[in-house]
A and B are shown apart, each in its own frame.
Chain A
């Protein structure tokens, strides 16, 4: 496949009905894609067409309609696996990234962790990468330890190496790209170091898969979680990729239909991968939509998507730095960070910022971003966060900067 070298956001925007200008010419400046992305028409049409033309329950159906539904559903899985270089048998659909991490915590952690074993997470984890481990640690007597962050928003790698060498670390659960700081963690490197000490690694790729080329095989981790709605796909579908040899040795997470080979009154046998971990009717239309999203992303080219992100982030870091007193969290080097930009103004609370810039049709998020341990480490209760994607351009950053100036002036009135 040939890729256009660069993203043309104006061209991309034509694929997103929600981003079209209104009749009065106003348009939405959507800077909250780290929370959820907008959806291109290709995704909406694929899901609509599935419901209109191919809707049936999947698997076991003998009639042709059910076969068609099954094919479209499994095509979605193939597209996802291809996008991230994952083994098809290890590509499991969940409800979202949160459920994917819970699946590992419960199906692997609960049966594997012993008292005093250590699960290493980081201070920059999303709550979904913390709370499942805390729950399972409480049940098993294992301990959750948090890798600290440095003042510039990177992980403290010395602490990680020291802990790997000195503590019985069984699992390292780590975010690839921080949804608050934007930090891109060197996950392949961390995997090699963790494996050398016998620990497994789960990578939370929720903020990386939508924005850059990500290879499960290349990272070498044991599990990888991400979520459909942040990568142009629908809500209601997430992905857990696992190494099949590990998944094979695990007991199921949820029980029910679809995940069995045989059910008897004296016990049951499990289906083969990936169905063993997909109890009940799966998210069928969502798989179709996510597959369409993967194809859309591949046609843009994830190298181009990432290049566009670096371009916008470079521009945004410069533009925001010009604002008097504005503090930006996370790495200053655009090559070392993703497109989530959290910032703080001394005289405007994040809530007020988000409320005020909304008057100018600028959507930014305010709050703790489901990362309260990180907020504590940064010494704030909340930040404002602007995050970009393929449909944003430098005009959107300018609109944010203008809106921030207006917000300030309004509050000083």
Chain B
């Protein structure tokens, strides 16, 4: 299915089948629940922050291949970084999804594979779900209402 190969890159299917950082941290610094109102998918993210560094992150919940692989890739990308760095990555990813800039692999890591999602407007929300949840958590400590899609 040639048209779809941009959307469903091998790396996405790999993260979908073998999600990294899956689960729930006990006694996390930050805990966020986020729902995709379009499809009812749910995501639960827990983060441990020590001295302003994200030392651990975990994601749980259910979702499509795009939202699940995105949560996995995001976790890979931000772990070990400072909160400020993570927020910058999230902003970079958001702008990539909205087609405003070209993705930078040195910033996004495996999440570069999600670049093709930008061409599928309904799926952008799926890809952004975990990133926006983390942003909420890092800024507020708790989820805010509807985030920018």
Contacts and interface: CB of A to CB of B under 8 A. Distances in A.
Are A and B part of the same complex?
yes
Interface of A: 349-352, 355-356, 359, 366-368, 372, 375, 381-382, 406, 410-411, 413
Interface centre among A372, A381, A410 (most CB of B within 10 A): A381
A238 B3 CA distance: 39
A358 to B, nearest CB: 9
Given A366-B39, A381-B42, A411-B65, 15 more contacts: A349-B64, A349-B68, A350-B64, A351-B39, A355-B120, A355-B123, A359-B1, A359-B4, A367-B38, A368-B39, A381-B41, A381-B62, A381-B63, A406-B1, A413-B10
A413 B40 CA distance: 27
B7 interface: yes
Interface residues of B, number: 21
A412 to B, nearest CB: 9
Contacts of A382: 39-41
Contacts of B66: 351-352
A413 B13 contact: yes
B40 A375 contact: yes
Contacts of B7: 355
B126 interface: yes
Contact of A351 (B4, B10, B42, B64): B64
A382 B63 CA distance: 9
Nearest to A412: B13
| Shortest Cβ-Cβ A-B pairs, 5 listed | A351-B64, A349-B64, A368-B40, A381-B40, A367-B39
Contact of A352 (B10, B42, B65): B65
A368 B65 CA distance: 17
A355 B68 CA distance: 16
A372 B1 CA distance: 33
A87 B38 CA distance: 38
A366 B123 CA distance: 12
Nearest to A359: B1
9 contacts: A350-B64, A351-B41, A351-B65, A368-B40, A381-B40, A381-B41, A381-B62, A382-B41, A406-B1
A349 B65 contact: yes
A124 to B, nearest CB: 16
A30 B123 CA distance: 21
Contacts of A355: 4, 7, 120, 123
A177 B60 CA distance: 35
A281 to B, nearest CB: 33
Given A349-B63, A381-B39, A356 B13 contact: no
B39 A410 contact: no
A405 to B, nearest CB: 13
Contacts of B120: 355
